[in-house]
Structure 1
Amino acid sequence: MENDVLKQLGTRIREKRKTNGWTQEDLASSAQIDRSYIGGVERGERNLTFTVLCQICTALHCDVAALTADLPDIAGLPK
């Protein structure tokens, strides 16, 4: 399940980045994170810390709640 959640989060980060018209390099520079790390986050390969998530959200001009709403998305379970 952890990997699924990380992939969902990574997809949301990628979508937000692309909405902003940014490359991974642009996001990495703005968030002060290595570009290869951003790539790993977007692919769901990195279990990022809350601090790194905050850096990414600050760079994307969104709050953490906007990217993590309804995560984990577990179908069929009551909320």
Structure 2
Amino acid sequence: MEIEELGKLIKHRRKVLGLTTRDLADLAGMSKTTISQIERGVRNPTFEVLQNIFEYLNLEIKVEVKKRK
């Protein structure tokens, strides 16, 4: 998934849950600016940051590992 798509997913899910960027930032223990940058696709979050955000959005991360062709 591209970073822009990921940001759109996070923003959509946040809005579905009725959360503001400030709400999510407070829950996830990060700044509102960081959440906004991730949602706009201008900041590439670490796996740990994604796990933290996804926990509060009730989303699950699935990682698929494939052998190179």
Range into which the TM-score falls when normalised by the shorter chain:
0.7 to 0.9
Separation (CA, whole Å) in 2 of partners of 1:22 and 1:54: 17
Are 1:14 and 2:11 counterparts? yes
Are 1:52 and 2:49 counterparts? yes
Aligned length: 63
Structure 1: which 5+ residue stretches go unaligned? Answer: 69-79
Tell me how large the CA RMSD over aligned residues is: 1.6
The residue matched to 2:2 in structure 1 has which SS?
helix
The runs of at least 4 aligned residues of structure 1 exceeding 4 Å deviation read none
Separation (CA, whole Å) in 2 of partners of 1:15 and 1:63: 15
Give the equivalent residue in structure 2 for 1:5. Answer: 2
- Higher RCO, Cα 8 Å, sep 6+: 1
Separation (CA, whole Å) in 2 of partners of 1:61 and 1:23: 15
Separation (CA, whole Å) in 2 of partners of 1:23 and 1:15: 11
1:18 deviates by 0.2
Query: Scaled by the length of structure 2, what TM-score is found?
Result: 0.84
Query: Scaled by the length of structure 1, what TM-score is found?
Result: 0.74
Separation (CA, whole Å) in 1 of partners of 2:61 and 2:31: 20
Residue 40 of structure 1 aligns to which amino acid in structure 2?
Answer: Q
Residue 41 of structure 2 aligns to which amino acid in structure 1?
Answer: G
What is the identity percentage for the equivalent residue pairs of Structure 1 and Structure 2? 37
